[in-house]
A = this chain, B = another copy of it.
Amino acid sequence: MAYTVGIQAAYGDAMPAHVNRRFLLKVRPTGQVGPEHFDYVEEDVPSPLPGQALVRTIYLSVDPANRIWMSDIPSYIPPVGVGKVMRGVGLGQIVASERDDLRAGQLVLGLTNWQDYELADDTLNEIPFTPLPEHLSVPLTHTLGVLGFTGMTAYFGLNDIAKPQSGETVVVSAAAGAVGSIVGQIANLQGARTIGIAGSAEKCRWLTDELGFAAAVNYKEDDWTRQLDAATPSGVDVYWDNVGGAILEEALPRLNLEARIVLCGLLSQYNSFNADAPPPVGPRNFEQLLMKRVLLKGFIIFDFARRFPEAQAALADWLSAGKLAHHETVVEGLDRAPEHLSDMFAGSNVGKLLIHVGDPD
């Protein structure tokens, strides 16, 4: 990749602090997302005006939602403008502040975006930056993963939509992913029987051997639907969907009466969100939503902002009690962000995928 070589050749590991490396959206993808959809630029570090603070990116979260935001499909948040900085959730540190409520040195969560420096400005940021507690007793990365949006997504989706009862069967797609791996464990803690669907034998072993899933099915095996039948002899009471598409189509006919679907993601569909193509068709077996009187709820974590402390407290309790295993895949360097996003759609990572951009002071 030309820009990677360029960055490395120019600076190696010694990026000058006055340069703001940024990835801009070059063109809306018409299929699989890749580096060709981004422009790399170097700009001056902005200076905060009154009411603003300067945030330096420490970790950048790589999420399937990144691909949604690159398309112009109607969404819960406006698409990233072509020529604008790529949107991304991250952990940053305040390095200069003209705001009364933020001071230099503080760690903050928010939309750092795909760059070294962002201005924290509630009138400009699509989601306000929120400071982390002063004395953090967990690794920083957890605040973007198991204790962050990822873990809270699992918490609210289960507590507010799925409401699994003891003994019910919960099936989770992309179960070895950031959200799915937490969903299964919380459902287990709630007394449900949890079945994971994932894309490799290793991921499936991790789910059953380390995370306590009752069974895991590798959807890349030819007989995976028969394996799913065998793993769900009493049908499916809760289907947590992160992927949509063919796996959703197989889940629908297995649903029990009054089953619940938490529609958390449609990973398999995002690469077909193309500017010029018609939208993809919906899942076969859609009529099962009627026949089985299913409750389906679309769900975005940002809606629960006022209740974040409740989720964070519950997750922290489980974590400190050793009841919540989790995995973080931390990769180095902002400069390869486009490749990391592309790799995520190929199923490369287990658990939460984070890019380490810099270290806090």
Of all chain B residues, which has the CB nearest A282? B282
Give bound CA distance, A317 to B290, whole Å.
30
Interface residues as binary, A68-79 with B (CB distance below 8 Å gives 1, 0 otherwise): 100001111000
Q: CB within 8 A of A285: which of B279, B291, B296?
A: B279
Of all chain B residues, which has the CB nearest A241? B290
Interface residues as binary, A241-268 with B (CB distance below 8 Å gives 1, 0 otherwise): 0001000000001000100000111100
A291 and B257: CB pair below 8 A?
no
A76 and B291: CB pair below 8 A?
yes
**Interface footprint category on A:** 35 or more
Pick the interface stretch among A22-30, A124-132, A172-180, A297-305.
A297-305
Give bound CA distance, A284 to B244, whole Å.
13
Q: CB within 8 A of A279: which of B73, B244, B269, B287?
A: B287
Does A289 lie at the interface of the complex (its beta carbon under 8 Å from any beta carbon of B)? yes
Q: CB within 8 A of A290: which of B265, B285, B289, B291?
A: B265
Give A75 Cβ to nearest chain B Cβ, in Å. Answer: 5
Does A280 lie at the interface of the complex (its beta carbon under 8 Å from any beta carbon of B)? yes
Q: CB within 8 A of A293: which of B74, B253, B288, B303?
A: B303
Of all chain B residues, which has the CB nearest A291? B75
Residues on A facing B (Cβ under 8 Å): 68, 73-76, 244, 253, 257, 263-266, 269, 273, 278-300, 303
A283 and B284: CB pair below 8 A?
no
User: What are the residues of chain B within 8 A of A287 when measuring CB–CB?
Assistant: 73, 244, 266, 269, 273, 279-280
User: What are the residues of chain B within 8 A of A253 when measuring CB–CB?
Assistant: 74
Of all chain B residues, which has the CB nearest A290? B298
A291 and B284: CB pair below 8 A?
no
Q: CB within 8 A of A76: which of B68, B284, B292?
A: B292
User: What are the residues of chain B within 8 A of A278 when measuring CB–CB?
Assistant: 284
B293 and A299: CB pair below 8 A?
yes
Give A91 Cβ to nearest chain B Cβ, in Å. Answer: 25
A296 and B288: CB pair below 8 A?
no
User: What are the residues of chain B within 8 A of A284 when measuring CB–CB?
Assistant: 278-282
User: What are the residues of chain B within 8 A of A68 when measuring CB–CB?
Assistant: 291
- A290, A294, A300, most chain B CB atoms within 10 A: A290
Give bound CA distance, A68 to B291, whole Å.
10
Give bound CA distance, A324 to B162, whole Å.
37
B303 and A298: CB pair below 8 A?
no
Of all chain B residues, which has the CB nearest A287? B266
B285 and A283: CB pair below 8 A?
no
Give A244 Cβ to nearest chain B Cβ, in Å. Answer: 7
Give bound CA distance, A287 to B245, whole Å.
10
User: What are the residues of chain B within 8 A of A300 when measuring CB–CB?
Assistant: 290, 293
Q: Given A279-B284, A281-B282, A282-B281, A296 and B291 touching (CB < 8 A)?
A: no
Give bound CA distance, A281 to B285, whole Å.
7
User: What are the residues of chain B within 8 A of A264 when measuring CB–CB?
Assistant: 290
